[in-house]
Amino acid sequence: MMNALFSVTYWFWFGFAALLIIFEVMLGTSFFLLWLGIVATVVGITAWLIPALLWQYQVLVFAFGSIVSVMMWHHYLKVHPAKTQTSTLNRRAEQYIGRVFTLSEPIIDGRGKIRVDDSMWQVEGPSLPISAKVEVIGVDGVILKVKAK
């Protein structure tokens, strides 16, 4: 009974690798489980090539390989960080930078208003008459900075 418990074969490692990779796909753990699955596959191949390899050494190879693969992946991510665009999803005013609008109220003493879709926005910029075209060049809180277009 105890011999069967401690006789880890290559099929165990292949099954364990498949399970880790399936969990990676399901959970999306940023490739952490993928690398462990690859190491388990390597241990399975090693156990297949060397059938007399004791289970303790197989576990040791898996542990060492796991540490090395995770450290290498961590180093790779530090050297090659993910490139992302600055999201304006929750910063609605910043989505309007570069767009041109028509003044709904004239800019007097540096303040006026524009209509953007179904809402009015306060703007800051040079004095301009009503219906003048302005381009949004920046944002200060909820106030849009504009220039004449």
Q: For residue 14, what pLDDT is reported? A: 96
Nearest CA to 32 out of 73, 4, 61 is that of 73
Q: Each residue of 5-52: pLDDT tens digit?
A: 567 889 999 999 999 999 999 998 778 899 999 999 999 999 999 999
The overall average pLDDT reported for the chain is 90
Average confidence (pLDDT) over 72-83: 88
- Supply the CATH classification number for the domain 92-148: 2.40.50.140
- Cα atoms found within 13 Å of the Cα of residue 149, Cβ hemisphere only: 15
| The pair of three-digit structure tokens given for residue 144, joined into one six-digit string | 């849009």
DSSP-based three-state secondary structure for 88? coil
Outline which parts of the chain fall under CATH 2.40.50.140.
92-148
* 108 — pLDDT class (breaks 50, 70, 90): very high
pTM of the model: 0.56
